[in-house]
Homo-oligomer: A and B are copies of this chain.
Amino acid sequence: MNRFELIEQIKKTKSFLCIGLDPDLSKFPPHLLASEDPIFEFNKAIIDATKDFCVAYKPNTAFYEAYGVKGWISFEKTVQYIPKDKFIIADAKRGDIGNTSTQYAKAFFEAFPCDAVTVAPYMGEDSVKPFLQFKDKWAIVLGLTSNAGNIDFQIIKNEFEESNYETVLKRVSSWGSADNTMFVVGATNPTYFASIRKIIPNHFLLVPGVGAQGGSLQEVCKNGLNSDIGLLVNSARDIIYASKETDFAQRAGEKAYALQVEMSQWL
């Protein structure tokens, strides 16, 4: 999906909600556990109940890989089941030397039908660029993450008199464009959004951390929206684990709908 199509989808659904599909069997409604592929059954029900209220889905590969080959089969079925007009983000945080990053790009852009993959920037230019060589596909590079550990390396100041994450935003954005690169910026850092928007005014930001991690949608919108919307706001646990009963999908739909209503007021 290209940038124009993504913006059209946001306008059509009046939503920039991304739903994190992070399956954890210990949080599943017990009645699902007897099925042959509980992860896929869970995701299928969540997708059916929420697809009118979101523009993107973001399965985090860790929650599939944890179940080995079986988990990857559930991942494949899930990304194949997601409607074609949704933006699919493989939240995989990959990144390696050049020839190896190309293999990761092939995995998520060819072997699995995803639109985007999250990428860790530590290994630099040749680790990121291979993800930018695929038409209408995206690298979503870690900028300032939502977790406590962002203080360890991202926020420390460097020789350019800026934080490391700012150097990441500047350098990575120069390797591609706002048509094939986005950045992860956690909702738990609203005070940073204004300065981030000065560095990358046009890029889409993927914003996790609203809900369970404590970020505020209002703060994110106030500081992060740009003239092309420029935001994909992710919520996972708050939506997909809204109930552990047989009504889990219905309750997920209600939670997604509430966020969509809130988002539509900003569009």
Measured CB to CB, the residues of A under 8 A from B are 22, 24, 60, 62-63, 65-69, 71-73, 76, 91, 93-98, 100-101, 103-104, 106-107, 110-112, 120-128, 142, 145-154, 156-160, 164, 167-168, 171
Most interface-central of A67, A152, A157 (chain B CB within 10 A): A152
Give which listed residue, B97, B107, B158, contacts A146 with CB less than 8 A: B97
Counting from the closest, the 3 A-B pairs by CB-CB distance are: A124-B149, A124-B152, A68-B111
- Whether A153 contacts B164 in the complex (CB less than 8 A), given A65-B104, A101-B62, A111-B71, comes out as yes
Q: Which residue of B is nearest A68, CB measured?
A: B111
Question: What is the CA–CA distance of A60 and B94 in the complex, to the nearest angstrom?
Answer: 12
Question: What is the CA–CA distance of A122 and B127 in the complex, to the nearest angstrom?
Answer: 14
Most interface-central of A66, A106, A160 (chain B CB within 10 A): A66
- Whether A121 contacts B122 in the complex (CB less than 8 A), given A62-B94, A68-B107, comes out as yes
A145: which B residues are within 8 A, CB to CB? 97, 122-123
Q: Which residue of B is nearest A100, CB measured?
A: B62
